[in-house]
Structure 1
Amino acid sequence: MGTKTLEQIESQFETFQILNEEGEIVNKDAAPDLSDEELKELMSRMVYTRILDQRSISLNRQGRLGFYAPTAGQEASQLGSQYALDKEDWILPGYRDVPQIIWHGLPLYQAFLFSRGHFHGNQFPEGVNALSPQIIIGAQIIQTAGIALGLKKRGKKAVAITYTGDGGASQGDFYEGMNFAGAFSAPAIFVVQNNRFAISTPVEKQSAAKTIAQKAVAAGIHGIQVDGMDVLAVYTATKEARERAINGEGPTLIETLTYRYGPHTMAGDDPTRYRSEELDNEWEKKDPLVRFRKYLEAKGLWSEEEESKVVEKAKEEIKEAIKKADQTPKQKVTDLMSMMFEELPQNLQEQMEEYKAKESK
């Protein structure tokens, strides 16, 4: 009886897709009502973000950036979901989710400062509804439940959305956050970007569940598995989840099936040690940019010339942003002390004087 029930539940979580690998619409009824300009904007953002990733890897290797988690391959999952949001919505990113908060309003030079560990990288401008990227795996899921409940109690027509990877779905915070949000019918969207490897651990070793999406059942909330290389499917699933949330129908768990083409982070990870060449090649064919490009070209909305303009714009803006980051005054130890404490304890008062003397030389 138990096995039958489990199989019945698992069979309900088929992968939602709108565009196939050839860029053809395979689910016409679900296709979003986006204008030609909106479709082009979405493609522009994906191309820009791919260039940003390439330049960030290069800057990291030059020692000009600090911590960096590559994003190539996950653009449809990241930007398709962010594009479905309103400015009033809150984003609680993981460390790979810097693109979403940049497109939500965070200036690019501050994203670079965040990577360098500079405090100004975490001082988000007024009106940018986002928290700093969370380094602790899954901690942002609990925070999302709290922010979503706060939005509900204040009568805001807005949602809180968070992102983690398949490894994050193994954390206790993942279940606690979803359960809490479900119990209070809070307007939250939990996105698990299943890129198949939590650093080096395959998703099959993370859980006996056939999908991560089905974990929504235990929390009593909506769950959907989406082709994370299909930007239109991700956009549609997020848009629908947002509508349900602001209409009081509770949270949604979205599992996006995606892939990171680079290492887990630039801090020494070597994906060739745990990923086969065959698997890499299989997912290369699913590249979200190639798929969406084919779709737009068939509609006469995209060209090499159009893409070149976006590439040049991205390179120019990245160059300016890193220059601005370089010009930002370096963070000092005394800055850290004064920001951490309203009144310094005795031992830190002594250290403050020591560092002030050092820094004035």
Structure 2
Amino acid sequence: MSTSHASTVSGDVSGRRDAARALLQQPIVTAASERETFDLVRRHAPALKSMFADRLGYRLVVEPTFARLIKAPLGPTSPHRALRHADGTEFGAITYACLALVCAALLEPGTGERVSVDDLLEQVRADARENGIVFGDPVSEERNLAAALRVLEEWGVIAESGHGDEVSGDEVRGDGPHLDVHRDLLSQLLDTPLHGMPGPAAVLARHEHEPAALRLYRRLVEDPFVARDELDDESATILARDRHELARMLENDFGLVLEVRAEGALAYDPAGVLTDEAFPGSGTLKHASLLLLAELTERFGDSAATTLHVDAHTLDSVLADLAAARSRTWKSIYVRDFALLRRDVVALLFRLGLARPHENGIELTAPAARYRPVPAESKCR
């Protein structure tokens, strides 16, 4: 093999891996917002489609103006990931209902590539009344509708347009601001139409009988930590038998390093880039979570134990002491509202796979021990 050919092959592998990593972090990539990444995905589209389908059971759609990676459920024991408001709080049922109603209104027959915001919101409110959906008081309604529109704008489905610009073939009504609608992308937000589905369980049931190898690989790629006691017998056997092959695949596909221990497995990015939530990190919430982990593992941890059960009283006591000691530096809303601090810290630990629910408290998982304080070596001899 010539040097130039070897260099080309190496570049192709590296480019495909970079594109795959980008899609994991950002499953919707548009040509308008991420031109370089979009071009990279298009260049490697055939290989990416095959890899995502065969390894993860994901469907990759690549069109002239966007790329959409449609993922599959991870399972009930995986950390919960939710859409969030601008202030960081998770979407509730009403906000998700608003998002669904906005999408449905944008897909209404006769809706063109540009729509009046006033007309759109009027249609959403009418559909909500027809389906018995109550948004609450005007402030809550405005907040939820604004959150739905913000998410669609971030995804590239809608964009603010100049009022009065002409759009060929579309009649633009209404006097207020208008939105440009990326209708082709809008139709690809979901893997399957929801109408006709009896409920959320039916959507999840479509993936119940997938091969164990596919489900395991998906968990390793997407979850921060896969506990061995959460795996079915077949998946646990595959992990033990094929760990070297899994490690090779994870490295080639996404640049991840597989670490397998008695308590479970994790695939991490040595560069620390491929993550949807970095930890440790800045801000009161991550600082409080880190200090809580350090205090709990130092005070109650046992090097021989893989998990640590922490009852609600102990959790509250330790976290309250930390908050009192740092009342001048932590975000005031968390210092004033301990229940909010506790809720958000616990939710973060669950998302990171560092803890999971346990009766009358929480259970710290094995990776939490990584944050146990270690005495610094003395420089004096």
Q: Same fold (TM over 0.5)?
A: no
Of the two structures, which has the highest relative contact order with CA contacts closer than 8 Å and spacing of 6 or more? 1
TM-score, normalised to structure 2, is 0.26
